[in-house]
Copies of this chain bind each other. A is one copy, B any other.
Amino acid sequence: MLKPLFNPRSVAVIGASNRKLTIGYRIVQNLIDSEFQGPVFPVHPKDRFIKNLPAYPTIKDVPYDVDVAHIVVKSSLVPSVVEACGEKGVKAVIINSAGFKEVGGEGIELEKAVVEIAKKAGVRVFGPNCQGVMNSDPAVRAYCNFTFTPLRQGRVSLFAQSGGVGEVVNNRLFELGAGIRMYASNGNAADVDVCDILEYWGGDEGTRVIIVHIESLADPKRFLEVASKVARNKPVLGMKSGRTAMGARAVSSHTGGMIKRDTTTELIFKKAGIVSMSNEEEICQAAVALAAQPAAKGKRVGIVTNTGGPGIIVTDEVIEAGCSLPDLEESRQKALKEKLYPEATVSNPIDVLATAGPEHYRAAVEALIEDPNIDIAVIDFITPFFVDTEGVAREIVDLAGKASKPVLPVVMTNKLGWQKTLSIFKEAGVPVFDLPETGGRVAAVFAKHAELAARPSEQAPSLANIDKAQAEKIISNGTPKGGGYLSQPDAFELLAAYGIDSMPYGSAESSDQAAKIAAYVEFPVVLKVDSEDVVHKSDSGGIALNLADEDAVKKAADEMLGKFQDANLFLQKQAEPATELIVGAVRDDPAGHVIMFGLGGVFVELMQDVAFELAPMTRGEAANMLDSVKAKAILDGTRGRAPVDKSAITEILLRVSALVSDFPEIAELDLNPVFAYTKGSGAKVVDARIRVQN
């Protein structure tokens, strides 16, 4: 329970200082400047006063209850200080001091020791090596942090893994006049982590919107679970730094090779319903608007403007973001036409003309709000000097205040000359944007949030015909010592245990045996060398296609055994040609498995036209993968080709997802190709590689 941390009734600063350029001074100063609503207890071994406050030699000398204690002493002293805090009954410590996990070696041990002591003593640890927390609630006003942005009450709570990013975003929210509700930047996160904080803010009524900045997730599974719950109730905006960092994946499979950026965090955001963003300015603007305006129900944007250019800019932005720009109902257009100047445009964007006054704006904005074709209204308003701009402002805020859809005004003006006009929006709590592109981009965030919120709340389905016990047996018997690739028969048997179809197969050790097996699986057959060393079979002569009879099989088998000594042979009935797909899974610890889907050949190799999802997938997510590749027209049938069996493909994706979720020891699974037949005729795995590694 984080209540005492974010709502302390009293704060001690252990390591407080009278030297102005120290953290120990700054925290005391910030608590005072921000009008913290409880007592502040500086702790200093010698000084009797810190600033104007009486100081105490140790935490135990403080003659009152202490909820939160900052610890700003050198790291080696921290364990004993935490112990003392425990004895004093402190609820939570914020360890600002550095010198722990981040320095490696002994620091790691020191951090562990501190957490252990704290746990025993019943003290929660925030940090170490961190900034701290803030709460702008007028009943609290806790600035337990050493940063520079003044505390301004707002409705956006902000978690930042990077203190620098947190401070920049916090400062920008301050500049926008919006402020924050709560703030947390927890450094090494030895105890209180992002999940605890999200969970707490999820239940905090004053928090309308949450911003989460992530560099890396220590416990992605719990994050997903917690964030999913929270995002169902309030918008969560996520920002991941390090998007372009080339992952250190050296796996040679296509699946692994394809994940070049940090796709996984993006997938977690999507699955949790977090709107993924990459720009601090846009995050701030969107958060403020989301906190002040109703959520959107869809992505249909309506625009009102009094000059062409800015209206076009909003149009470009929202269309590029995948929104639509439908016209109003015809009757409404007609009615609106009556109320505007004759030269005005009533199609979307509605151009009320530069001379439009309050009544024109009222008519146009009202039309957008009432029209069932529109989910989000963006109002461009450049302030001509010959217009009653205050009147226009009053009409917009009046309508925005009553609307059940977001109304997003872009007010383009000289801020000094039109201060009064702007203050009408401010006093009404209707956030405005300076630039049309900002209005367009924020509209796109509302649309994205609507899309995420509209997803059915589905679970990964339970699938019939799964023999988990059999799969377990195959994996435990078939995995090479220390991990590695399953043999081909094991791989296909494992797939079969999870209800994933392939062609009849068998294995052989000699060419005679191969010929016999070939007859059994039925001609024509494919002959492959089955060896962990031969990864790209077709490049190295380890595969022979279309063998029509026993002689052909024998000849090919002899050649192959000559080339790859001691290798096993694997035979499989050759599949009828079909649309080639690739289905893959790669484990990205600790998040779990990323599932990949794409069309084979050039699509995957050259165009990198692939879709990713995080396992375990819901049926909706699996089906959505098929629609997410650019080449999807091929699946639907194009230029005389028949559509493929999409439900069979979806089924394979779901079963792969179930398999890797049930067996986290599968490090990599590569079904390449999968042959997809026409609708109703299923899909079959033609080649499979499965690597097991704990």
Interface residues of A (CB under 8 A from B): 21-23, 26, 103, 146, 148-150, 160-168, 171-172, 174-175, 213, 215, 241-244, 278-281, 305-310, 312-313, 315-316, 319-320, 343, 354, 382-383, 385-386, 412-415, 417-418, 434-438, 539, 602-603, 605-607, 609, 630-631, 633-634, 638-640
Interface centre among A316, A539, A605, A638, by most chain B C-beta atoms within 10 angstroms, is A316
8 further A-B pairs in the complex, CB-CB below 8 A; given A164-B412, A167-B412, A280-B435: A21-B386, A103-B343, A167-B382, A241-B313, A279-B437, A606-B631, A606-B633, A607-B630
Tell me whether A162 and B215 are in contact (CB under 8 A).
no
Contact A385 B146 (CB under 8 A): yes
Q: Compute how far the CA of A22 lies from the CA of B149 in the bound complex, rounded to whole angstroms.
A: 44
A388's nearest neighbour on chain B, judged by CB, is: B21
Q: Are B244 and A316 in contact (CB under 8 A)?
A: yes
Partner of A242, one of B23, B312, B386, B436: B312
Is A312 within 8 A of B215, CB to CB? yes
Number of copies: 2
In the complex with contacts A21-B386, A435-B280, A606-B633, A168-B412 CB distance below 8 A: yes
Whole-angstrom CA separation of A395 from B156 in the bound complex: 37
Which of B413, B417, B602, B631 sits near A634, CB closer than 8 Å?
Answer: B602
By a CB distance below 8 angstroms, the chain B residues around A163 are: 307, 309
Q: In the docked arrangement, what's the CA distance between A320 and B174, Å?
A: 29
Contact, CB under 8 Å: A437 / B281 = yes
Flag if A414 contacts B22 (CB, 8 Å): no
Question: 13 A-B Cβ contacts within 8 A?
Answer: A21-B385, A23-B386, A146-B385, A148-B385, A148-B417, A162-B309, A168-B310, A215-B309, A215-B312, A242-B312, A244-B316, A602-B603, A603-B607
Name the distance in Å between A51's Cβ and chain B's nearest Cβ. Answer: 15
Residue of B nearest to A631 (CB): B606
Specify which chain B residues have a CB less than 8 angstroms from the CB of A165 in the assembled complex: 307, 309-310, 313
Contact of A316 among B149, B241, B309, B638 (CB under 8 A): B241
Shortest A176–chain B CB gap in Å is 12
- CA gap between A279 and B417 in the complex, in Å: 25
CB pair B26 A385 closer than 8 Å: yes
Distance between A14 CB and nearest chain B CB, rounded to angstroms: 18
Question: Is A308 a contact of B171 with CB atoms below 8 Å?
Answer: no
Q: Of B148, B242, B310, which contacts A413 at CB under 8 A?
A: B148
Whether B634 and A313, one on each chain, are in contact in the complex, defined by CB atoms closer than 8 angstroms, is no
Q: How far is the CB of A433 from chain B (nearest CB, A)?
A: 11
- How close is A626's CB to chain B, nearest CB, in angstroms? 14
Instruction: Give the residue of B146, B168, B244, B602 whose beta carbon is less than 8 angstroms from that of A315.
Output: B244
From A146, A382, A385, residue with most partner B Cβ within 10 Å:
A385
Decide yes or no: A244 and B168 within 8 Å by CB, A280-B437, A309-B160, A385-B21 being known contacts: no
